[in-house]
Amino acid sequence: MKLREIVETVKGTVLTKQGDLDLEISYCGASDLLSDVLSDMKPGSLLLTGMVSLQSVRTAEMVDLAAIVFVCAKIPRPESIELANELGIPLIASPYSMYEICGRLYQAGLRPPKK
């Protein structure tokens, strides 16, 4: 699924500079616990999180995640957006809850990373 379609599906706003929205993403994970993200997520996946700290972006960098969708219309601080721009990791804000986003994206074809 293309990142562009993901943004549409979650009615998201891209917070970072217009990056590569044609990026193909197949896997997705959702967590507020960054240690779980580090431990379980595959490179190239999409992260759904309510954690808007700078550490979400750092975590995405560490495990080479493709992009982050922030849930419940949470907006990270400018420093986080700046870092994400630097690292080329698209940040997206969605008005929906974590549960709703999970449902919509699963229906659209995104799957959890294979163990």
Q: Which residues bind other proteins (CB under 8 A)?
A: 32-36, 38-39, 43, 49, 51, 53-56, 58-59, 61-64, 79
**Ranges assigned E (strand) in the chain:** 13-14, 28-30, 46-49, 67-70, 91-93
Cβ nearer to other proteins, comparing 7 with 52: 52
Q: How many residues does the chain have?
A: 115
Minimum distance, C-beta of residue 4 to other proteins, in the bound complex (Å): 26
Minimum distance, C-beta of residue 81 to other proteins, in the bound complex (Å): 14
Cβ nearer to other proteins, comparing 20 with 64: 64
The residue type found at 109 is G
Minimum distance, C-beta of residue 54 to other proteins, in the bound complex (Å): 7
